[in-house]
Amino acid sequence: MPKPPRTRAYHSPIRAEHASHTRATIINAARQLLITEGFNNTTVRKIADKAGVNVDTIYRSVGRKPEVVRAVLEAALSGLPEDVPAEQRQYVQRIREAATAEEKINIYATAITEIQQRLAPIYRALEEASRSDEGSRSLWNEISERRARNMREFAADLRRTGELRDELDDDTVADIIWSMNSTEYWIMLVEQRRWPANKFRDWLADAWCRLLLAPAKRAPPAAYSATEPPTRRNSSADTAP
C-alpha cells in the first residue's frame, strides 16, 4: 500500500511578523488600560476596541483576561512582547560574562532600574486586583518567588568572583538583593520620595557593593551624594532591555 505523501509544515515570515505585531498591539493596549482604568474596569472588549481588533483575535493571540494580564507583566519584565526566560535576557548574559562582582552589580542595577520603570505602573493595577482577584494575587506571588530564585542564582554568580563577604551566605546575599530590587522599594524612593531614576540606579549599585563585597577585595567606592549620584565605573551597563 503506497504511503501518503508528506506534507510540509507551512511557515510564512510575513504572517508570523503580523501575528507578533498584533500580539504586541494587544499587550500595549491592555497595559495602557490597566494603568489608566485599573484591573476591574479593564475588560477584554475594551482591550479589543483600543487595540483595533476583535475579541476573538485576543483569545487566539494571547488568551483570556488572566493570560492577557500575565502577558503584560511578562512584557514589562522582558521589555519585549513575548515572555523571555531570565537566563536568555541580554543583561543576564552580560552579567555572566562580566569579570568582577562590581561590574555584575552595576549591570544588574541598571537593568532593574529600566525594568521598574515599565513594571511599577502595572504593579499598582495588580495590587488593586489582588484584593479581590485570587488569580492576580497568585500571579504576583509567583513572580515574586521566581525573582527570589533568580537572585539565588545571581548570588552564586557573585560568589564565584571570590569578592563577596565571607560571613554572608548565598541565601542572605540573595535576600538582600531581592528586598531592594522590588517594585515596592522603587515606589518608596522614586515615586514617593521623588528620586530620579539614575539616582536610584547608582544607589542600588553603591549600596550592594558596600553591603555585599569584602572591602579588601574591591576598589574604594566613589563618595555618594544625595544630590548628585556617583559616576559608575561600568559605562558599558547603560543599556538594558
Distance between CA 237 and CA 106 in Å, rounded?
7
Q: What is the pLDDT of residue 3?
A: 58
CATH code of the domain occupying 14-84: 1.10.357.10
What size, in residues, is the chain?
Answer: 241
137-133-131 Cα angle (round to 5) = 75
pLDDT per position as a tens digit, 35-85: 999 998 999 999 999 999 999 999 999 999 999 999 999 999 999 887 888
Average pLDDT, the chain: 86
The domain segmentation of the chain, as residue ranges, is 14-84, 85-241
Alpha helices in 42-182 (DSSP H): 44-51, 55-61, 65-78, 90-97, 101-130, 134-159, 170-180
What CATH architecture applies to the domain 85-241?
Orthogonal Bundle (1.10)
pLDDT for 229 equals 43
Note whether 14-84 and 85-241 share their fold: yes
Alpha-carbon span 126 to 183, nearest angstrom: 12
Say yes or no to pLDDT of 238 above 50: no
pLDDT of residue 200: 98
Query: Taking the CA of residue 63 as centre, how many other CA atoms within 13 Å lie in the half-sphere pointing to its CB?
Result: 8
- Among 58-72, 149-163, 209-223, which stretch is predicted with the lowest mean pLDDT? 209-223
Rounded mean pLDDT of 135-145?
A: 88
Q: Can you give the pLDDT at residue 219?
A: 56
| pTM metric for this prediction | 0.81
Place 19 in a pLDDT band, splitting at 50, 70 and 90: confident
**Coil, helix or strand for 213?**
strand
Handedness of CA 9, 15, 80, 120 (dihedral sign): negative
Q: Which three cell numbers stand for residue 221?
A: 567606592
Output the pLDDT for position 136: 84
